[in-house]
Structure 1
Amino acid sequence: MSRPREDRADGTGPPVRSGAAARHTEDPSVGPARHLGVVRRTPGWLKIGTAVVSVLLVGVIAFGAYWAVRLQGNLTTASLGAGSTKSEGAVNDSTDRMQILVLGSDTRDGKNAQYGSVDDATGYGHSDVMMLLDISADNKRVNVVSFPRDLLVDIPKCKDPKTNTEYPAQKGVMINAAMSEAGIGCAVDTVNKLTGLEIDHFMMADFNAVKELSNAVGGVQVCVSDAVYDPDSKLRLPKGTSTVQGEQALSFVRTRHAFGDGGDLGRIKAQQGFLSSLTRKIKDDGTLSNPARMLGIADAVTKNLTIDDGLASIPTLLAVGNRLKNIDVGKVAFVAVPTVPAESDPNRLQMAEPAASQLFAAMRKNIDLTDPKAAPDASAEPGASPSAEPTASAAAPAYDKTLQPVTVANGSGVPARTQEILQALTAGGFTQHGQLTARPVATTAVYYGAGFADVAADVAALLGVPAAQVLPAAGVAGVQVYVGTDFAGGVPAATTGAAPVQLPSDIVNQTAGDTVCQQANPALITR
């Protein structure tokens, strides 16, 4: 029987002791007798352990919060486009196929002032490195497609989102100038127009990013065929394999003259070799599964990174990074857009056809560039480029056939085919036509420029060219019939939409699993 509680104004009372306990002692400071059911004290070691765990847990949470805030604060953002409209919805950054345009800016602001004055990089600067990172939905393949800075392209009309200033479309302009007036979004719009894809995100880094990233991973191994010195970039390397980091790493990826014939294509191969080696190092060192290393790399990169608004959160960046950690390095394909010296300026480049259009068609169809004969990924999105495979219109065309420019490029190996096809075009009502010198190709294709998809479909139907071989090509004005050896007589050999995509055998420069020595420019080899 217990004692009644004392009434208290605050509704509380003293602890109630059992009658049995009271019989043992009247001293209220003495607890219940042990034989009456002991109330055990918490051991000292458990209290200490619990306190330590609690402190550690709070520390981990605080550490994570600190890094999240720090990394988020590092980021700079910009608009994804400069006036274009997306026909596709937003992608799931963890599970969908994703294209990210990676840019290297030549801006001389802030930490980059040592590489020249601000006047050396007008407006928003130039994208002296431009690569399209294409990640498959199943996370088994990555294509890294480089666009030479000297490539002449058509830039669409762009609007600067900061000033609302509109800039007119330009023709035959170096691709690295696409962002100089209206910002990064204009570079995105230009690549979208060029490839027929719709880029989901972009990342732009400056000179300092390469230095800090290479330092964060402890250096990157590169290989050169001969000892070389480039006085412009200050790159000096001995023959064979070297580890570069910091300023030397930047010199390696910036040099314009040290490799190949001293042109932009040699620099692209060196950049791809650098990224291949960096990829192998990160995977071999277990960096992607080491939080401490990943935080160091993330800090180095984000401090020098501008990204689009849709990518501008640390969880999103981590989701994208997580997709890359298990990819086979042999399925990371480094590609350069096929080019030839430009007709308007031999010091510049233009896209080589049909190879360039074949590359972009393969990418739209989500083809594995390391194995073009493999079945496309089931999660490919054929709707990404609805104009890629037009069909002939059943009704009369809503245009005047006599005004449509159609050229014939005869790669069949049979010279007489040019006139035969021109006669067929004339009989079909296409009277404004011409002819071009062409290299031999195996498969006939009909290429078309912007606004000529319907004309191309009708030309293809007239000549018996399958719809799967009707392709957009940024470098074509009007419609171009590129005749292959399958069209040496009669109509082209029958193909279907599932036919293997035609690609040059050397379209992939290397994979991330290849160790490649860069060929030094003979003019800069040192003894």
Structure 2
Amino acid sequence: MTDPWDGPAGRGTRSRGARVPRPRTAGPDRAGSPGGRGAVGARAGRRPGEARPAGRGRRLLRTAAITLSLIVVLTAGAGWLFYRHLDGNLHSVSLDGKGGTEKADAFGRTPLNILVMGSDGRTSTTDCRLGGGCSRTGVQTGANADVQMVLHISADRSNATVLSIPRDTMTRVPACRDGATGRATTGYYGQVNSALRYGPGCQVATVHRLTGIPVDHFVELDFSGVVKMSDAVGGVSVCVSDDVYDTYSHLKLSRGTHTLKGVAALEFVRSRHGFGDGSDLGRTVAQHIFLSAMIRKFKSAGTLTDPTAVYRLADAATKALTVDDGLGSVKKLIGLAADVNKVPARRITFATMQTAPDPADHDRVVAAPGAASLFAAIADDRPLTTGNGAHPGSTARAAASAEPAARIAVTVRNGTGITGRARALADALTDQGFRSATTGNASGPATTTTLTYGPGHEAAARTVARALGLPSARLEQGTGTGLTLVVGSDWPSGNHYPGTATAAPAPAGPKAAVGGAHASTADQGKTCAKVSPYKTVTLDGVAMTPAQAYTAARGRPDSDVRSDSDG
């Protein structure tokens, strides 16, 4: 390689105009002779025989240096403007500690627990068009968190867990107030997804209360956000086990593998009638398949090293997301992406909270006994995969040794004669996630506190006893139904029975934690979403399976075809 200004690279050369003049005699080349060196020198403004100056080279070097400096300044300025542009896209909200605080490990490293929420809000004309349901109401206010996933990244960044909480889960929503809208609640028992109506902080607080997992970050996106993100990554490859047409989400795909982007991707992640048993449980599994594919694409060669792709993704992400203040900058989101990227796909576990039918409404669910082990594993930063990524028994069943608090209602009777004593303990129970508690006075003074349970409710009674520190000797089986706590004069104050300590249960292993949780890992690229075999959809007023609806709607283009034509 040669330098155009200095001759061969790595070797200094003397300027052609710097040759030493030699003595001259009169002759053909003397000064003034036509065409002689003197004439050339004169035309160049030099005396005959004078050395040619190096100024031209210096001027060119100086010009190049100035140009390079300008390029550096402009590039840095463009980068600064780029970051300012992306930061300006983001909308952030303060959580004020509503979801607890993650604890550092012995080496000072801190795990991350982030609630990822998908909103069903129709708060813009775009979301009305994508989500439907605005034909009579128009653009609406408020939203539900129809998708709720707790993303846990371990303190050492060696493993991660994505826990889905079905939207139909019944739980206790705490007292909340949305700082942006002023909308408030004193607390109630209802669907977990409804807490978003009182702001993202309320949704975080509700999930923290349900699971016991400290959550101090959140990410929220709406319908249009899913469309933008899937477009930004160039589509996501998914597989369906059979022909499927969900007439509610409008997802229509033939059996096999498809690359979905835009509206087609939204239809897939929204489909609840197309997969599994037609409930929200089947939808969470399909969403895990979609996210696993997206993670694999992020990690594939070239996705995150292509500047154009990175810009497109960053621009779409910041426009699509609402986050907490702790993630409220591009730099912090890039740091989060880097943390996720450190975890091998084989050590990213997807799981759905174990559920049981709600005793009061079989169209709703509550946390099942096995969920306590899963919650505890995440809260304690314990991995759900082995070192080589093998998954420990995803179909195993956890022992139902305890009843989850969310399913238990307690009647509290005051036998102390102290005003408000029953109410205080009832509030303490609901604060710990118990379903509900009614209060009243005992039939007479009681010197000893007792917890009476009806046939088949011993497990529930033991769950209450553990929560209150009540000795097993205070539990009695009765002939009635449900649970009744009579507070005696031996417990005049406080929310924990005097003189006892709450015994921490032994940590459950990964096998118990994921039992019945439909667990999978992000490296499982050949998994297909299981199309529902039941008549979960309706076409022209006739109930059908999603596969039958696909056949009956041959004239309607498939979702991936419609998505390509729209693009």
TM-score using structure 1 length: 0.69
Letter in 2 for 1:106: D
Q: Label 1:251 to 1:160 Cα distance change in 2 as closer, same or farther (>3 A).
A: same
1:524 is aligned, of 546, 554, 557, to 546
Aligned to 2:399: none
Structure 2: 5+ residue stretches without partners: 1-44, 390-414, 427-447, 476-482, 487-502, 534-544, 552-567
Superposition CA RMSD, Å: 4.0
2:111 matched to 1:97?
Answer: yes
Q: Distance in 1 between matches of 2:323 and 2:68?
A: 38
Q: Does the Cα contact within 8 Å between 2:100 and 2:216 map onto a contact in 1?
A: no
How far has the Cα of 1:222 moved from its partner? 0.6
Alignment of 1:149-160 (within 5 A): 149-160=167-178
2:83 matched to 1:68?
Answer: yes
Q: Distance in 2 between matches of 1:142 and 1:260?
A: 25
Aligned to 1:131: 149
Letter in 1 for 2:329: S
Alignment of 1:430-449 (within 5 A): 430-436=450-456, 446-448=462-464
How far has the Cα of 1:158 moved from its partner? 0.7
1:323 is aligned, of 331, 339, 344, to 339
Q: Distance in 1 between matches of 2:282 and 2:255?
A: 17
Cα deviation digits, residues 61-96 of structure 1 (max 9, x gap): 122122111111111122325x948466899xx952
2:273 matched to 1:251?
Answer: no
Q: Label 1:51 to 1:454 Cα distance change in 2 as closer, same or farther (>3 A).
A: same
Aligned to 1:3: none
Letter in 1 for 2:233: V
Q: Does the Cα contact within 8 Å between 1:210 and 1:246 map onto a contact in 2?
A: yes
Aligned to 1:297: 313
1:359 is aligned, of 356, 366, 374, to 374
Q: Does the Cα contact within 8 Å between 1:369 and 1:508 map onto a contact in 2?
A: no
Cα deviation digits, residues 345-398 of structure 1 (max 9, x gap): 111111111x01111111121111124999xxxxxxxxxxxxxxxxxxxxxxxx
2:204 matched to 1:188?
Answer: yes
Aligned to 2:522: 512
How far has the Cα of 1:508 moved from its partner? 5.2
Alignment of 1:429-508 (within 5 A): 430-436=450-456, 446-448=462-464, 455=468, 457-459=469-471, 497=506, 500=509, 502-507=512-517
Q: Distance in 2 between matches of 1:495 and 1:84?
A: 24
Moved more, 291-300 or 251-260: 291-300
Q: Label 1:213 to 1:437 Cα distance change in 2 as closer, same or farther (>3 A).
A: same
Letter in 1 for 2:339: R
Aligned to 1:332: 348
Aligned to 1:59: 74
Q: Does the Cα contact within 8 Å between 1:288 and 1:325 map onto a contact in 2?
A: no
Q: Does the Cα contact within 8 Å between 1:333 and 1:508 map onto a contact in 2?
A: no
Tell me the SS of whatever aligns to 1:103.
strand
1:175 is aligned, of 183, 189, 192, to 192
Alignment of 1:128-277 (within 5 A): 128-171=146-189, 173-180=190-197, 182-277=198-293
Q: Distance in 1 between matches of 2:508 and 2:193?
A: 35
Alignment of 1:40-55 (within 5 A): 42-43=57-58, 46-55=61-70
Aligned to 2:560: none
Q: Label 1:513 to 1:345 Cα distance change in 2 as closer, same or farther (>3 A).
A: same
Q: Does the Cα contact within 8 Å between 2:213 and 2:376 map onto a contact in 1?
A: no
Q: Does the Cα contact within 8 Å between 1:90 and 1:200 map onto a contact in 2?
A: no
Q: Distance in 1 between matches of 2:214 and 2:504?
A: 27
2:133 is aligned, of 93, 116, 124, to 116
Q: Distance in 2 between matches of 1:298 and 1:105?
A: 20
Aligned to 1:343: 359
Q: Does the Cα contact within 8 Å between 1:76 and 1:307 map onto a contact in 2?
A: yes
Q: Distance in 1 between matches of 2:473 and 2:68?
A: 74
Q: Does the Cα contact within 8 Å between 1:373 and 1:500 map onto a contact in 2?
A: no
Q: Distance in 2 between matches of 1:167 and 1:315?
A: 35
Cα deviation digits, residues 300-357 of structure 1 (max 9, x gap): 111121111222111111111111223200111111010122111111111111x011
How far has the Cα of 1:56 moved from its partner? 2.8
Q: Distance in 2 between matches of 1:495 and 1:85?
A: 22
Q: Label 1:264 to 1:431 Cα distance change in 2 as closer, same or farther (>3 A).
A: closer
Q: Distance in 2 between matches of 1:112 and 1:226?
A: 29
TM-score using structure 2 length: 0.65
Q: Distance in 1 between matches of 2:304 and 2:357?
A: 41
Q: Does the Cα contact within 8 Å between 2:99 and 2:214 map onto a contact in 1?
A: no
The number of aligned residues is 414
Q: Distance in 2 between matches of 1:477 and 1:125?
A: 37
